[in-house]
Amino acid sequence: AQTVTQSQPEMSVQEAETVTLSCTYDTSESNYYLFWYKQPPSRQMILVIRQEAYKQQNATENRFSVNFQKAAKSFSLKISDSQLGDTAMYFCAFARGSNYKLTFGKGTLLTVNP
């Protein structure tokens, strides 16, 4: 079974600074997808960024980028120029196969301080 581990239950950062959230996963599959979802206090699950395992290039979405290390099974999220609105729970998730069932990590609570 696949597992997703987020080793940082909580993190904080000052506004405008950069922060990196860690995620590792365990799988024997070669083709899969990785995601970061954001859950603000409104509790809505919002897709931040996605990465296909077969692509070597790291995904980037505006201030959000990932460092995907396939051999190390690591998928970290970097948030640049942190904003107060980035305060949220962040979940790393893994999906494989044709059913695309998502396996989630336990989340990292990020607080951006003014």
Binding region for another protein (CB under 8 A):
4, 33, 35, 37, 42-47, 50, 52, 91, 93, 95, 99-102, 104-107
> Is residue 55 within 8 Å of 75, Cβ to Cβ?
no
Nearest to 108 by CA among 6, 1, 3, 4: 6
Q: Identify the bridge partners of residue 68 per DSSP, sorted by sequence position.
A: 75
Strand-pair category, 10-14 with 60-61: unpaired
Beta carbon of residue 106, minimum distance to another protein (angstroms, whole number)? 5
Beta carbon of residue 65, minimum distance to another protein (angstroms, whole number)? 18
Beta carbon of residue 35, minimum distance to another protein (angstroms, whole number)? 7
